[in-house]
Amino acid sequence: MRLPGFRVLGGYLGRRALLWISPLAVLLLWVAVCRAGVFPEQILVSPGVVLDTFVELWASGELPEHIGLSLYRLAWGFALGVFLGVAFGVSMALSPLVEKLFSPFFNAVRQVPSIAFIPVFILMFGVEETFKIVIVTKAAFFPVAVAAVDAVKGIPQRLVEVAKVYRLPLLPLVRRLILPSTVPPIFTGMRLSLTRAWIVLVAAELLASDSGIGQMMEMGRQMFRIDIVMVGVALTGVIGFTLDRGCQLMEWRLIRWRTR
């Protein structure tokens, strides 16, 4: 007879094991294709070579420097995008005048992929740090702003009427009613914007940068070092996955805190 604790532990370990099935399957397929010689080594290198290159780049200090610069740009651009997105979204949801003035332009611009703005931003800001931070800010701004607008408009009308009865000023209204009611949906928008911002940053570094993970991959391509390119690809995926998981964990804890 199985004890309940063992049953729970077995279910947990089974769910954790399922998470590794697809990565292991891709890794095994990668090894099999390399051993079969389907592609020449100049196009596809084995996982072992990629691992050796990763260790070499890390030991030389080059890889930590690229990762640090990319995360620095992401942090600044994401923070600015979230702040501006929340402020603009709340303003547009609360003020009919702001919505009438900016809604058409806002909805038109947010349909344009952030990557399409890269040439314009290069002409405006050059290829230095400002350009990367601005493109990340743009990528993070729109999902958060849309989430803020929908969240504020989704506040129950009875709460808004109570606030009007007590004639709450703007700042207490935002602090006591709007923010507590809109944090979960805005956090969901932040999670989406973080993923988009990371993708756009790597693309910007690929096209115009002298440092960062994207630039490292571009230099590897120019030197025909596919192993360096694959290290960059793997790192981009791992960092993006880690950021999304971390944001998801924070969102889950926030929801648990609100339901207590």
Highest averaged pLDDT of the listed ranges 33-47, 89-103, 163-177: 89-103
pLDDT number for residue 159: 65
In the predicted model, what is the mean pLDDT of the chain?
82
Rounded mean pLDDT, 157-185: 67
Check whether 158 has a pLDDT greater than 90: no
Using CA atoms, how far residue 18 sits from 23, 155, 192, 240, 246, in Å, is 10, 39, 24, 20, 19
The answer to whether 132 and 75 are in contact (CB under 8 A) is: no
pLDDT number for residue 174: 65
Rounded mean pLDDT, 22-29: 82
pLDDT number for residue 161: 63
- Per cent of the chain over pLDDT 90 is 31
Rounded mean pLDDT, 67-91: 92
> What confidence tier does 128 reach under pLDDT thresholds 50, 70, 90?
confident
Q: Is the pLDDT higher at 38 or at 103?
A: 103
Q: Could you state, in order of their start, the residue ranges of all structural domains in the chain?
A: 1-38, 40-259
Q: Residue type for 179, please? A: L
Domain range 40-259, CATH architecture:
Orthogonal Bundle (1.10)
Check whether 139 has a pLDDT greater than 70: yes
Check whether 16 has a pLDDT greater than 70: no
Q: Is the pLDDT higher at 221 or at 179?
A: 221
The tokens 């004890």 sit on which residue? 3
| Alpha-carbon dihedral sign for residues 212, 213, 218, 222 | positive
Q: Is the pTM of this model over 0.85?
A: no
Structure tokens at 178: 């709007």
> What confidence tier does 1 reach under pLDDT thresholds 50, 70, 90?
very low
Check whether 187 has a pLDDT greater than 60: yes
User: Tens digit of pLDDT for each residue in 235-259?
Assistant: 999 999 999 888 888 777 766 655 4
